[in-house]
Amino acid sequence: MSLSDPMLYAYLLVILAGFLPTDVFRFAAVLFARRLDEDSEVLVLVRAVATALLAGVIARLVLFPTGDLAGVPLWIRLSTIAVGVAGYFLFRKSVLAGVVVAEIVIVGGAIYFR
């Protein structure tokens, strides 16, 4: 096998371009957090940044989907989010209930409106 072998190349890609650039941040964070207390002030900020980042990831998946989901109209994707959040609160803050009603809307919407 040589480097130009696409199969071997895929494995090298996973290790050099996937594992290394990901775990370097995990390890750096462990070293950074070593001197921090569980309820230190900095962690409130760090947690807020982590929450906002994740909110950004979620909003991107809904607003700018790649792949097949892009074929489902934006208003259906946004309605799905609204129905999911409403369902969560209506069913006494049940995440599962919110997810189920949202899934009904998105699958139904994909059948009738795409």
Partner 1 sequence: MRAGIFSVQGIVLFAGFIGFGGLIRDVGFPLGAALLSTILVWALPAQLLIVGGFAAGSPAPVIALAVGLSSVRFFPIVASLMPMIRGKSGLGTQLYASHFIAVSAWVESIRLIPALPVYARMPFFLGLSNLFLWGSVATTIVGYLLAGTLPQALANGLVFLTPISFLLQLVRNARDLVDRLALVFGLALTPVFAQFGGSLDLLWIGAIAGGAAYAIGRWRRART
Sign of CA dihedral 93, 94, 95, 98: negative
Q: What is the DSSP letter of 72?
A: S
Q: Kindly state whether residue 86 participates in binding partner 1, applying the rule CB under 8 A.
A: no
List Cα–Cα distances, 98 to 81, 83, 92, 103, 106, in angstroms.
9, 8, 10, 9, 12
Q: Which of 1, 2, 38, 92 binds partner 1 (CB under 8 A)?
A: 38
Answer yes or no whether residue 47 interacts with partner 1 by CB under 8 A.
yes
Q: Following DSSP, what letter does each residue of 77-106 receive, concatenated? A: HHHHHHHHHHHHHHTTS-HHHHHHHHHHHH
**Which one of residues 28, 74, 78, 90 is an interface residue with partner 1 (CB under 8 A)?**
28
Scan for tokens 């909110």, then name that residue: 55
Q: Report yes or no: 114 and 73 within 8 Å, Cβ to Cβ.
A: yes
Q: Does 1 bind partner 1 (CB under 8 A)?
A: no
Applying CB under 8 A, among 1, 59, 90, 92 the residue interacting with partner 1 is: 59
Residue 16 contacts partner 1 per CB under 8 A = yes
User: Per CB under 8 A, does 50 bind partner 1?
Assistant: yes
> Least distance in Å: CB of 44 to partner 1?
6
Site for partner 1 (CB under 8 A): how many residues?
Answer: 77
Nearest distance from residue 75's CB to partner 1, in Å?
A: 14
